Structure 1
Amino acid sequence: MAVARKSRGTRVRHLGLAGRTGTVLLAAGIGVLSPASVALPAWAQQSSVAPDAGGYYATPPRVDPSKKPNDSGKPDKTYEKKTECVQRSKLGGDQVDIKNRPWGQEYLQIEKVHQLMRGAEKSVGGGIKVAVIDTGVSAHPYFGGRVESGGDYVATPGGGKAPGLEDCDGHGTEVAGIIAANPPDASIGFRGVAPDATILSIRQSSQNYEEAEKKEEPPPPVSSNNPAPPSSSNNPGSQLPPSSQGNGAVGGTSPGQDKGGRQQEQGKTAGTLTTLAQAVVRAVDQGSNVINMSVDNCRAASGSITKGEQELQAAVNYAVNRNVVVVAAAGNVGDKCPQNDQPDPKAPKTIVTPPWFSEDVLSVAAIDETGGVAEFSVHGPWVSVAAPGTKIISLDPAEGSSSLANLTIEGGKDPGPIQGTSFAAPYVAGVAALVRQKFPELSARDVMNRIKATAQHPAAPGGRDNFVGFGVIDPIAALTAIVPSEADKAKPVQLPANLPPANDRDPAPMIVALAGTGGGLVALLVTLFVVHSVRRNRPAASPGRKTP
């Protein structure tokens, strides 16, 4: 109220001065409106890079639904395991159980989120299915049997495992752990964001599986007319497949978390945009409520869209239109994925998909412990929100492990922290799962809007920038805030018409009582009037005269 009164007072004073200062105000107004006086924000300025000069605006072409691929449900090629699967590290001797709570979990107040959900919904993500399209998800005991087979676009798993439940790279298990892990030991601080949710695992990519080499025809028998060819070290048949080098080295292996993370269409490794699009369609058709993709494709902006990108664009549009929330990692800077640090933010030099299709995708950047954007997180106009992506603690993806991991060994190098936008995305996917549980009436686009609207907005025009989008997610606000756009859609609720039964009793006693009360009041008023009149008309006593 004090603010409102002050505003009215100020307005009156301004009106009082208008007659004497009209000329000054007019000149000031002209100065404010002058384009040369105030610099426009970046989003309001015209791009300084002409399209015909190689500039490429960040908005992708309009989606073509006819490009949605048919789901083959199988690999596009024959892939073979070229590198051994991730193993439990033996460095440092006996393993130490990780008890501390990850900083990202503290930053997002996940423990309070769990208390809120248990009080309101009796579970934390129960009844919600999150599809993890990645390198597969192993059946870690901290999932409590809540991992379903969704399909496999890499190979038929060994050891009798169901499709999608082999994670040779280890990446998908760590991603899924951030979404839905639930350690039974209360002394362990790490917890998934939605520890009662179900994971649908679809293995779509792997850097440990590569395209199988074509078998050569056996050479013809040696004869005088057909001598044997000279030996050569470049003969493919004489080369041995990689064994003790790279991601499967004995003595400690782990998934690739840096140098671009899980990239599609890299050399002969498994994973293309076409199979990624098919996996999205498959996740929708198998009843997912949320899809997490911590895999992406990074390329130079060229002013065009590829066939695989068209298929993926149509697939994510298909998902959202069928009420599925799609979450994707914004991408990591690497040798083949340079940072978008050009002067014009609307003309990026690097395009990352699926984040590029931000109309239908929640694209997630990574922040570090300072709360600022992580140095490896790719910038872009398509970034939606941000979440913690450094010093990650999650499930140990090694076969048969029942503990956690916080380090990764890449290519035989020294251990390093687990980090990447790959691990920021599942924080958002977990929050999306909880919003879906708490507000089942919201559509997928409403859920995406709620997460963006309740984020901690940066100090930028429109409350977003190209680094963290609309800001770092705020799970508590996403689950409790009143979002104006949702209030506009609210429908009036018809109240129940369960009124008490009519009163059919005889009204005569009440009438008599009211009549008597009314009569008494009239008599009292008449008496008071008479007394007042008599006293007013009585003659006043003469001065000095004694009253007998």
Structure 2
Amino acid sequence: MGSRRSFPRKLGLPGRAGVALFAAGLGLASPFAAAPASAQTADAPAGTWATPPPLGPGDAPPADTGHSDTTYKKKNECVQRSLGQNVEINFRPWGQDYLQLQKAQEIVRAATGSVGGNQKVAVIDTGVTPHPWFQGRVESGGDYVATPDNGAEPGLQDCDGHGTEVAGIIAGNPQDPKVGFIGVAPDAHIVSYRQLSENYAKDDSPQQPSAPPSGSNSQQPPAGGSSNSQLPPSSGGGTGGGSGTAPQQDNKGDNRQLQKEGTAGTLNTLAQIIRGIADSGRAKVINMSVDHCRAGTAPGDIQEGERKVQAAVHYAVERDIVVIAAAGNVSENCPQNDQADPNKPKSIVTPPWFSDDVLSVGAIQEDGSVAPFSVHGPWVGVAAPGTKIVSLDPAEHSTGLANLTIANGNPSPIQGTSFAAPYVAGVAALVRSMYPKLNARDVVKRLKATAQHPAAPGGRDNFVGYGVIDPVAALTANLPGDTGNLSLPKPVVQEATLPPADGISSTPMIVALAGTGGGVAALLITLFVVHTIRRNRSGSPPAR
């Protein structure tokens, strides 16, 4: 991932998109439940490419070994700060206003005394730099790439910068009213697992053992530089044997992938980490902004690593853990699912594919529309802001924010479904804090039920799922069959005081018709009398 340079931008505030329909399409008891969705919007039927084969009796997640399953070596230096001018970013990111996060945080703080302070969120990513705006709320979970070469605890070195930005959206807390940015759950704790890196690659040198624990590297990151800034495009990536800081993403969005050639991270270690979190109970929410994407082949086709992840996420949810994953980004190796039959996708994305146990998150942009890089699919659960991202600067020793990344030597905005997912993970942490009696599946139901549903049959589609999350509604709504702490409203009989349906009195019409009838009757009598007189006169003898 590239290093960062930060500078302020003015962002317009979009209108709220969609309508919060609280029970549509979720199977909740409601007299207003919508009809089943069409083939484009409903959950895919069994036997299609869009539905994974069910787990069998012998399918179980792998045991957590606590280290990588491959020896990796560093090929690029870690994300760095430049020597340029320190530029502050003091505006609020548009996503915070769009989701009304300030109001949601006030609600939780008033009810619980903190904003997620009793929650731990596991971040499975590229590691997390212990930025000062975490106030020490970041814990070591483990390292499945290599032993940190800067003396940090496992999982607390972020060479790519990706995981720190993800964790910042969840729990960053500047504690400075002049700084507009704040995390969704700014009092929550982060448990960091480094599972993926584009700055490391498999070590094929002959002197390496075939199955060692996590590797290490003696190279040290360069020092110095001002915070809140980004390497200029002409700058290299530090010193030592690396070839420069790797770019994080292109303009289509973050394109990192698990098991991508020349990078570190496998589906096997992802499954191990999920299993380990479930066994240890260290966190009640998992955020995975890491994906594996492949071309769909045939119904029933599933890879060994995918099956391990499927078993792991099911294992975790059954142990009361909310599992959140990014829906994936379009790339050369992950084409958009824009085919005619939604149940035969071009791309299958893991872990989102396992939507019975995983809440996957698509990305929207500032005007409320679906971000073009966000992968569509029947597994998409909800959506959240994923463009023009501002988060904690991931460079070591940084004390500020970042809103840019290096892409092909040029600065570009930070974007991707990777950054939409932590918005939802943060809200999930707030819901768990507000409703401690809700189990993991009920938390996910609440997030879906209170989302801003799209105008589609059943209240969902393959682009934003059940819609853009609505944190305020998720924290306050009374839903049919609610098992949370808030009491359900008591029904009250209202006296009917409605006016007549047409609102018009009939008296004037009756009077008018009566008068007309009387006039007609008088006219008929007059005509009869005149006719009789004339007839009598015509029968008299002539005068002389």
User: TM-score, normalising length from structure 1?
Assistant: 0.73
| Other-structure match for 1:161 | 152
Gaps of 5+ in 2: 1-36, 209-221, 223-230, 489-544
* Aligned pairs for 1:385-424 within 5 A: 385-411=382-408, 413-424=409-420
Measured after TM superposition, the shift of residue 491 of structure 1 is 11
Q: Pick closer, same or farther for the CA change 1:260–1:182 going to 2, 3 Å.
A: closer
Higher relative contact order (CA 8 A, sep 6+): 2
Is 2:310 aligned against 1:313? yes
Measured after TM superposition, the shift of residue 159 of structure 1 is 2.4
Q: CA RMSD in A?
A: 2.8
Measured after TM superposition, the shift of residue 249 of structure 1 is 2.6
CA distance in 2, matches of 1:329, 1:390: 14
Is 2:121 aligned against 1:130? yes
CA distance in 1, matches of 2:421, 2:307: 22
| Other-structure match for 2:373 | 376
| Other-structure match for 2:290 | 295
CA distance in 1, matches of 2:326, 2:91: 26
* Aligned pairs for 1:99-498 within 5 A: 99-215=90-206, 249-250=237-238, 256-258=248-250, 260-286=254-280, 287-303=282-298, 304-411=301-408, 413-486=409-482
Gaps of 5+ in 1: 1-39, 218-242, 493-548
Is 2:68 aligned against 1:75? yes
CA distance in 2, matches of 1:160, 1:121: 37
Measured after TM superposition, the shift of residue 269 of structure 1 is 1.5
CA distance in 2, matches of 1:453, 1:461: 14
Where 1:484 maps in the other structure, the secondary structure is coil
2:43–2:379 CA contact under 8 A, matched in 1: no
Where 1:384 maps in the other structure, the secondary structure is strand
CA-to-partner distance for each residue in 1:122-173, whole Å, 9 max, x for gaps? 1000110000000000100000000000001001112221100000010000
Q: Pick closer, same or farther for the CA change 1:46–1:359 going to 2, 3 Å.
A: closer
The structure with the larger Rg is 1
Where 1:387 maps in the other structure, the secondary structure is strand
CA distance in 2, matches of 1:414, 1:152: 31
CA distance in 2, matches of 1:479, 1:395: 26
Is 2:84 aligned against 1:87? no
| Other-structure match for 2:23 | none
Measured after TM superposition, the shift of residue 104 of structure 1 is 0.4
2:42–2:458 CA contact under 8 A, matched in 1: no
CA distance in 2, matches of 1:432, 1:140: 23
Is 2:58 aligned against 1:59? no
Q: Pick closer, same or farther for the CA change 1:253–1:107 going to 2, 3 Å.
A: farther
CA-to-partner distance for each residue in 1:483-514, whole Å, 9 max, x for gaps? 1132699999xxxxxxxxxxxxxxxxxxxxxx
Where 1:42 maps in the other structure, the secondary structure is coil
CA distance in 2, matches of 1:46, 1:465: 9
Measured after TM superposition, the shift of residue 260 of structure 1 is 5.0
Give, as a single letter, the amino acid of the residue that structure 1 aligns with 2:189: T
1:253–1:408 CA contact under 8 A, matched in 2: no
CA distance in 2, matches of 1:174, 1:405: 8
CA distance in 1, matches of 2:116, 2:413: 28
CA distance in 2, matches of 1:445, 1:466: 21
Q: Pick closer, same or farther for the CA change 1:347–1:141 going to 2, 3 Å.
A: same
Q: 4+ residue runs of structure 1 moved beyond 4 angstroms?
A: 43-47, 243-248, 250-255, 487-492
Measured after TM superposition, the shift of residue 414 of structure 1 is 1.1
CA-to-partner distance for each residue in 1:101-126, whole Å, 9 max, x for gaps? 00001100111111111111110001
1:126–1:196 CA contact under 8 A, matched in 2: yes
Where 1:449 maps in the other structure, the secondary structure is helix
Where 1:415 maps in the other structure, the secondary structure is strand
Measured after TM superposition, the shift of residue 281 of structure 1 is 1.2
Q: Pick closer, same or farther for the CA change 1:156–1:94 going to 2, 3 Å.
A: same
Give, as a single letter, the amino acid of the residue that structure 2 aligns with 1:334: S
Measured after TM superposition, the shift of residue 254 of structure 1 is 7.1
CA-to-partner distance for each residue in 1:198-232, whole Å, 9 max, x for gaps? 00000001110111122379xxxxxxxxxxxxxxx
1:87–1:248 CA contact under 8 A, matched in 2: no
What count of residue pairs does the alignment treat as equivalent?
A: 420
2:40–2:461 CA contact under 8 A, matched in 1: no
CA-to-partner distance for each residue in 1:24-69, whole Å, 9 max, x for gaps? xxxxxxxxxxxxxxxx94349999x998xxxx43111112463311
- Sequence identity, in percent? 62
Which structure dedicates a bigger proportion of its chain to helix?
1
User: TM-score, normalising length from structure 2?
Assistant: 0.73
